[in-house]
Amino acid sequence: MTDQASSDIRPDTAGARHSGNRYGRSEQARRAVLTAVDDLLVEVGFAALTIEGIATRAGVAKQTIYRWWPSKVDILLDALGDDLAEHLTPAEHGDLEQDLSAHLAAVAEFLTESDAGAMLRALTGVALHDTAIAERLRTEHLARQRERDRLPLRRAVSRGELPAQLDLDSAVDQLLGPIYYRVLVTGQPVPRAFTEDLVREFLARHRD
């Protein structure tokens, strides 16, 4: 889990030697806060997540939180870190069906099972209440993820498995949309059969 939002402020993440002086913020405090947010989100839910609660749990002063994160949401955006890249970077098996099957199953599992998925769901909830946050969520996390989501298709096009004129954006929406819809809206589970089905129908349509 690395920092994206505020890496500019903290030039030397590497060394991480300092704690409470002019030469950089306390890496220890930073980690404690992100961990606390992670835990509390799972334990009490977003609605009951307070800055004071985070500070207490992290064993950190409220002021330290406000010094580095402008708001509760910034902590979440920070805490999400590189989780998306880590969990949702599609592997390459040299075969579109395998690639897609694995990736869609990974997305489904990430969203429904993992703590990081819970974080993303919570952030999506906030984004639905505040367009500014929606914008940040997209530029800081979702845009890159969308790029990753396109990857299996792009590679298949390179291999000649898919036609070159395929609309990748549209294809991604058709493949991932139903999964997100189930998770975010209807609350239905997303079993392996569901994602396999999506892949099968997609391939039937586009592979010739």
Closest to a second copy by CB, 102 or 184: 184
Question: Taking CB under 7 A as the criterion, which residues in 67-126 touch DNA?
Answer: 67-68, 71-72
Residue 54 contacts a second copy per CB under 8 A: no
Cβ–Cβ contacts within 10 Å for residue 17, how many?
9
Q: What does each C-alpha distance from 1 to 4, 22, 84 come to in angstroms?
A: 9, 24, 10
| H/E segment holding residue 187 | none
CA nearest to 137, candidates 66, 193, 73: 73
Question: Taking CB under 8 A as the criterion, which residues in 13-32 touch a second copy?
Answer: none
- Least CB distance from residue 198 to a second copy, whole Å? 7
Show the site string, 27-66: x = touches DNA by CB under 7 A, - = not: --xx-x---------------x-xxxx-----xxxxxx-x
Concatenated DSSP letters for 61-101?
-HHHHHHH-SSHHHHHHHHHTTHHHHHHPPP--S-HHHHHH
DSSP category for residue 21:
B
The site partner of 67 among a second copy, DNA, none (C-beta below 5 to 8 Å per kind) is DNA
Residue 7 contacts a second copy per CB under 8 A: no
Q: Which stretch binds a second copy (CB under 8 A): 13-21, 79-87, 95-103, 195-203?
A: 195-203
- Least CB distance from residue 94 to a second copy, whole Å? 26
Q: What does each C-alpha distance from 181 to 108, 121, 188, 189, 190 come to in angstroms?
A: 11, 12, 9, 11, 10
Structure tokens at 85: 């890249």
Show the site string, 102-131: x = touches a second copy by CB under 8 A, - = not: -------------------xx-xxxxxxxx
Binding region for DNA (CB under 7 A): 12, 17-26, 29-30, 32, 48, 50-53, 59-64, 66-68, 71-72
